Amino acid sequence: MEIITAVKGFKDILPPETDKWRHIEETAHKVFCAFGFREIRIPLLEKTELFCRGIGESTDIVEKEMYTFLDRGEESLTLRPEATASVIRAYLEHNLHAAETVTKLYTIGPMFRRERPQKGRYRQFHQIDTEILGPDDPRTDAELILMLLHFLDKLGLQSLNLEINSLGCAACRPAFREAILSFLRGREEELCGDCRRRIGTNPLRVFDCKVETCAAIISQAPLLPDFLCAGCRDHFEKVQALLRLFDLPFHLNAKMVRGLDYYTRTTFEVTTEFLGAQNAVVGGGRYDHLVRELGGPDISGIGFAIGFERLAAMIPEADADALPQGPLLFIATLGEAALGKAFFLCNGLRMKGIRVEMDHAGRSLKSQMKRADKLRSAYTLILGEREIAENKALLRNMLSSTQTEVGLDSLEETITELVR
């Protein structure tokens, strides 16, 4: 019979990759906690309307990438394509804004987008998402970016490129929209079909077009930072000054428009040469109207999401090797009585939190030792009839190949000493 494989674009994360993932998660918990963030866990499924309203009807995500279905023919539900809209939904539903003036939340988990799968792009992928709800001052933007870069640094990541831009606000964006529209309308014939369509739906998206002829035209287009109102310009300059104050190198990228409609003012991405075509590891920015658009009060927000798979792909293998892997002890056995005794000893040690392995199948000593080697066990103990009768056995250090005799009754203490 044929085996059933996973769905296209949905990937299994296997050990030892999972060790790396846990290391990343633990680092995130530690770093974010120091910056005052608390973890939130939100459902994978939401009402479709949340994302239509939150992300924007004319974005690629909402137009063509969502996994949407009618729940028993009644209600339209969607597997979350991102976390920001869900975090705000929960923030409003549970009135978190009434409890605090600043709410810092983070969440780690799978997101779903029906994109064309390729290296670094999946249909189920994971994000480490953070959101700060409340303040709209430039210091909050800088603090969030500082935390992000500190986190990436803690993971030993280099060759990263921080790009920032300002997308303006409801006051200054319409003028820019008009300017870009009149620029595009004059060149409609030369644009690709997608860009022509974008003129009527979401003209800012043309900056993301990968078609060469479009890119050439768009390189002449008016740029958003030239249209910022005094308030937005001042905000953006202060964010940059703070980043310089902390010696954080960045590039201004006036063409970075981001793929979601909710952004205002500061937006940023972290990119790397290392990942090839899918070079964005992190995307984020400020959203000063989203909370209100989702039915809440006038509260600002800013956040980012890190692509977990892309981040993990950049962590050097040497670092992953340094993670704890093999068991501390492997007990090899000869005969039925030894199997029984080993099972008992194993259980005792495991109850103490010590990782011990054995073989229940009564295979040859040679194959058991091979397995101990493969598992990279630090120590082995061979138990046979004689060892049981004498109540002692040889504990072998697999790295130094030295052996010491241990009493079976004091095995627990001896091993516990070793892990100290």
The binding site for ligand HAM (CB under 6 A) comprises: 82-84, 113, 115, 121-122, 125, 127, 129, 131, 259-260, 280-285, 303-305, 307, 309-310
Distance of CA 291 to the CA centre of its chain: 23
The Cα–Cα gap between 36 and 49 comes to 31
Contact predicate 345/45, CB 8 Å: no
Distance of CA 68 to the CA centre of its chain: 23
Which helix (H) or strand (E) covers residue 392, if one does?
Answer: strand 392-397
164 CB-side CA count, 13 A: 23
Which helix (H) or strand (E) covers residue 132, if one does?
Answer: strand 124-134
CA distances from 77 to 21, 183, 335 (A): 29, 39, 58
Contact predicate 245/146, CB 8 Å: no
Quote the least distance from Cβ 185 to ligand HAM, whole Å. 28
Quote the least distance from Cβ 265 to ligand HAM, whole Å. 12
Contacts of 81 (CB under 8 A, 6+ apart): 51, 55, 61, 65, 66, 67, 111, 112, 113
Q: Which residue is nearest to ligand HAM (CB)?
A: 307
Nearer of residues 134 and 303 to ligand HAM, judged by Cβ: 303
Quote the least distance from Cβ 127 to ligand HAM, whole Å. 5
Quote the least distance from Cβ 109 to ligand HAM, whole Å. 12
Nearer of residues 301 and 327 to ligand HAM, judged by Cβ: 301
Reply yes or no: is the peptide bond before residue 16 cis, omega within 30 of 0: yes
Quote the least distance from Cβ 155 to ligand HAM, whole Å. 14
Quote the least distance from Cβ 22 to ligand HAM, whole Å. 19
Q: Could you identify the residue written with the tokens 């002449």?
A: 220
Contact predicate 105/91, CB 8 Å: yes
Contact predicate 204/257, CB 8 Å: yes
**Tokens found for residue 85:** 């809209």
Nearer of residues 18 and 118 to ligand HAM, judged by Cβ: 118
Nearer of residues 92 and 398 to ligand HAM, judged by Cβ: 92
Quote the least distance from Cβ 169 to ligand HAM, whole Å. 16
Nearer of residues 286 and 396 to ligand HAM, judged by Cβ: 286
Sheet of strand 403-407, all strands in order from the earlier edge strand to the far edge: 356-358, 329-333, 379-383, 392-397, 403-407
Contact predicate 293/54, CB 8 Å: yes
CA distances from 204 to 90, 95, 173, 222 (A): 29, 34, 10, 11
Nearer of residues 86 and 368 to ligand HAM, judged by Cβ: 86
Quote the least distance from Cβ 182 to ligand HAM, whole Å. 29
Quote the least distance from Cβ 266 to ligand HAM, whole Å. 10
3-state secondary structure 227-288: HCCHHHHHHHHHHHHHHHHCCCCCEECCCCCCCCCCCCCEEEEEEEHHHCCCCEEEEEEECC
Nearer of residues 61 and 191 to ligand HAM, judged by Cβ: 61
Nearer of residues 121 and 392 to ligand HAM, judged by Cβ: 121
Nearer of residues 145 and 260 to ligand HAM, judged by Cβ: 260
Quote the least distance from Cβ 191 to ligand HAM, whole Å. 24
The Cα–Cα gap between 217 and 233 comes to 26
Nearer of residues 191 and 280 to ligand HAM, judged by Cβ: 280
